[in-house]
Structure 1
């Protein structure tokens, strides 16, 4: 839980949620490597288990190191609270868990990470849930896809892999009119480049594995609660508005108000799904966030330089970076993402699939990995890896066709990155 920010982003990314350790005076947040916590007495334990008092019970639910990270991310995103978990995919399931029931659906953007498309199109069917995929640039189509069983709209702020930028405010207007929450995956943009809550989002999810940690060491996820949604406005969200049998009929929204979703995420989501973030992962992510703004500035600067060079190279068909004046999303990016369009984009290689494979194999500085948001520059051929499970039509819709590679631009010297791409393109395209 957070207070209203009174400091700038650069200060908050270092200090939000953290105080010197009361026992030792340690300035850096300690790694509380413990599974359980001693109660003061029996009444204290009962109050914690009854949700009458906030505190630490068991590290599947709450942990002091993770709690600092939750408060820091919530503060940077402008939310009232956050729940950290084991991965970005865990965060997506935990975001949907209080909203959905068998027979319900979510309207999702066609421009999503391939693993998310698979999760929403295949895996959630086992819960009796469904996803409807719509081009979120077509607001009329989004509105038409929403029906009486729709419980959320889901998009990415800057879409992986293509770097497309979403008009969150316009999408929020559609979801608001339907009385359902908008969930925005802000992994690629980070709160430095984009604040979805300020643009109308109800919930924000992150793969903290990526830019927030920034060093490719640990996996993690986070759900940030705006605190702005009225979960009791209708009977669509009984997990939050109706009596909860496991807590003697407690109603989360009636009891916790704007923090209802956050408390439910811990008391029900982490309790029963067990998608817990470990304290060492939280520690690494806290250290990464301390330099988030500095890294994002360099990611954007390098991405603009590299994308411009690629666009002018005869061996390249096109570049999808929204920071280029030639992009159809350029004006939107300037308006909605004034600090930059991120460090993620794709480009199409003349020569198709085979040339992409040769390019990936010839690179020396770029690492061929299934990750993004690292300080190191990364590349992947999505059609043969992260989006391999999708149909050709789904791959094209997601911007991951067979002739396309995705770049996650790091913070190295941009001249070195261009030289590496130049020599690899020479080998790939003859």
Structure 2
């Protein structure tokens, strides 16, 4: 497929090109294994000398269609689908980090990611230093040593909604020779492509906007192919891999070194693979991504403006509100829209917030975001409840914060429901 098609076309036709007599849509290949007649060909597959599928834990045709489409949308050189967004983040780190290494991360994170970095990875011997959005380049550079492997951030922080300063972090990573890893879940590859702004690796919770219907759990890692892994810091990609016939990934695969190792080593050993059925559903979800993201963004901005002018609302946060401190960065990095997530606080605090949530009739209370239906959540008592109060504040979670994942329903119906529910508070 020609690479210069626009995103709208790639959403529908990317990743799979049928020949005469083939299914017109990418088929579901629900199989764990594959038949071969030539033992030498199968041996070459195991030795990474030929392309093909060995076992679905490592690769599958349906997963491959989805991975190729997602990679094209992000502008990467390759992608690997995983069983969840958390799996994607974990593999992205473990692929180049081991005990004794460290990473630097923005503190404005989804609570599950914060716990992964702050607790689980520390237990594995990988330490994380969290930095605020206001940290200067000099401060961040002073934290980097010869064991630092990457800087991590979210394009739009969940739920703080901070916009990642790509230019600052990209400069730091280039100066230091370390990888820049970005979670691009909230804007999706339709609204933002981090590789254009200096990122090297992109991760997604595909369960959100990519699936778009709250039916298929999954994640993905996309490789930008734009980083020099042979700079003396990443021996795992340069030195022989004793678990894979002594192969040297960088020498053999060049720009594909990172994503190849992740598939044939990490996915092989840890097994957190996306099911072919979920890849099939996620691939279908991508076909309407461009339509949905435009409507999510349009609805969210309208609701944010309504809430901003409501007498019972203390504050509202949405990247496209001109009153926001990150408005200029939002326009710079999210030129097509700011997505469907906003946050706000009600006068009277958490007590009134809970009263508001209970009064909603159309909008759901749900532990999810990024799908067709509008939902709300109180992160402080749910997704970020394992964090201390100080850690919650660092992640952008105020005690009264209500997160809204705005769907694609009629916006007047949504505003009417918010208005009547706000009328029940105070």
* Partner Cα distance (1:145, 1:360) in 2: 42
SS of equivalent to 2:269: helix
* CA displacement, residues 264-313 of structure 1 (integer Å, 9 cap, x when unaligned): 11100110010000010001111110011110100110111000010111
SS at match of 1:111: coil
> Which of 46, 66, 69 is matched with 1:69 structurally?
66
Equivalent of 2:327 in 306, 330, 351: 330
Aligned partners of 1:139 and 1:171 also within 8 Å: no
CA deviations on 1:150-175 (whole Å, 9 max, x unpaired) are 11000000111132211212211111
Residue in 2 that maps onto 1:126: 123
Structure 2 counterpart of 1:29: 26
Correspondences of 1:210-289 after superposition (within 5 Å): 210-234=208-232, 236-289=233-286
TM-score (normalised: structure 2): 0.98
Distance 2:282 2:136 in 1: 36
- Residue in structure 1 matched with residue 166 of structure 2 by the alignment: 168
Partner SS, residue 243 of structure 2: helix
Match of 1:295 in 2: 292
Show CA shifts across 1:9-46 (max 9, x none): 11011111112267x52111111000000123110110
Higher deviation after alignment, 138-147 or 43-52 = 138-147
Of 40-49 and 393-402, more deviation after overlay is shown by 393-402
2:384 to 387, 403, 416: 387
Which residue in 1 is equivalent to 2:373? Answer: 376
Match of 1:411 among 408, 411, 421: 408
Which residue is equivalent to 2:307? 310
User: 2:148 is matched with which residue?
Assistant: 150
Structure 1 position 200 matched with structure 2 position 198:
yes
* Moved >3 Å (runs of 4+): none
- Return 249-258 or 362-371, whichever deviates more: 362-371
Aligned length: 425
The yes-or-no answer on 1:82 pairing with 2:79 is: yes
Aligned to 1:399: 396
Gaps of 5+ in 1: none
Paired residue for 1:209? 207
Q: Tell me how far 1:366 sits from its aligned partner.
A: 1.4
Kept in 2, the 8 Å contact 1:164–1:321? The answer is no
**Residue 287 of structure 1: SS of its match in structure 2?**
helix
Residue aligning to 2:355? 358
Other structure's SS at 1:317 match: strand
**Aligned equivalents of 2:272, 2:345: Cα separation in 1:** 37
SS at match of 2:182: strand
Please give the alpha-carbon distance, in whole angstroms, between the structure 1 residues aligned to 2:85 and 2:126: 19
